[in-house]
Amino acid sequence: MPVVSVLMAVKNAQATLERSIFSILNQTFTDFEFIIVDDYSSDKTPAILAEFKEPEIRIVRAEKPGLVNALNHGLNQITGKYIARMDADDKSHPERLKQQVKVLDREPEIGVVSGLVNHISTHKKQEGYAAHVHLINTLISPEEHFANRFRDSPVANPSAMFRKSLLKYGNYKEFDGPEDYEFWLRLMQNGIRFKKIDYQVLDWYDYPDRLTRTSGNYSMEALSRIKARYFSMWWKVNNRDRELWIWGYGKEVFNKSKWLKEYDINVTGYIDVKNRSGTTRKVIYYEQIEFKNAFTLVYVSDRLGQQKISNWFKNKGLVPISNFYFMT
């Protein structure tokens, strides 16, 4: 049996498919199988796949269409002890598998290992994604991953490798939300430790038609809801009868944080940088909060504002997990 099973779900990827496949075939680590699940492509993808005769490649099709169906069908085919995810529009660097296997072999306490990614944009509206890549590239240790898990997915999905044994927590879930992010949150909720190698493992292409930009499963509402769900699991164990405050005010903040109520989380009030009066909501000026018995969720989306809040926490001696989480 191979050490690694590389899993890739493909749908209408004729323009980028060969680049992605060859980036795996050209790995310096060679003890792998490459399972490619064709998600009912209607372009030239099937014909391109048929040209690959390498013995390590297995091309399969799920019983019914859909990304989650394709991924789970692929998971049911794997034989390796480690699973490496890959996407059909990205490019793995030659040492990727070798370096990630090295971590999982020598550090049994690590369940998921990824690496730094190189963001390559193909269009103008890329600032948000570039900022996301910059953030996740700063998260190296397990503690940094866990502390920032509610900002966004702390790993680039096609850069990740994880232990097959983690499938005991379930495969990908079919729901109206981000299946990959939910999977990572579920693992973290069960105490699985994530780590990045300080090595660039992937060229992550940012196309305007990528699913994270076009599918409602990756909308602000879907992301806010799944964050609230997993925060609620953590909070019900760790609240210690503390007050829960939301840093931020306004329609966007209210829309993002409304999902907390769905999971029976009571919000004490809101923190703002302005002194507000005449509102029915409980709002306090940020310098007035007493953190001795308070926990804060930061829903401010402005990056400069986030940095100012982060600096303010630091000056007060407050740390993530113990005193706050960023939720954007």
Predicted TM-score of the model (pTM): 0.94
- Give yes or no for a contact between 13 and 37, defined as CB atoms under 8 angstroms apart: no
Minimum mean pLDDT range among 52-56, 113-117, 207-211, 245-249: 207-211
pLDDT at residue 121, as a whole number: 80
Closest CA to 16 of 71, 90, 73: 90
Amino acid at 298: V
| Rounded-to-integer distance, Cα 267 and Cα 245, Å | 6
**Domains of the chain listed by start with CATH number:** 4-218 (3.90.550.10), 239-326 (3.40.50.20)
Element (H, E) at 92: strand 91-92
Does 126 score more than 80 pLDDT? no
pLDDT of 11-43, one tens digit each?
A: 999 999 999 999 999 999 999 999 999 999 999
- Give yes or no for a contact between 112 and 184, defined as CB atoms under 8 angstroms apart: yes
Q: Which pLDDT band holds residue 181 (cuts at 50, 70, 90)?
A: very high
Looking at residue 217, the DSSP 8-state letter turns out to be G
* Calculated CA dihedral for residues 25, 108, 68, 53, nearest 10 degrees: 20
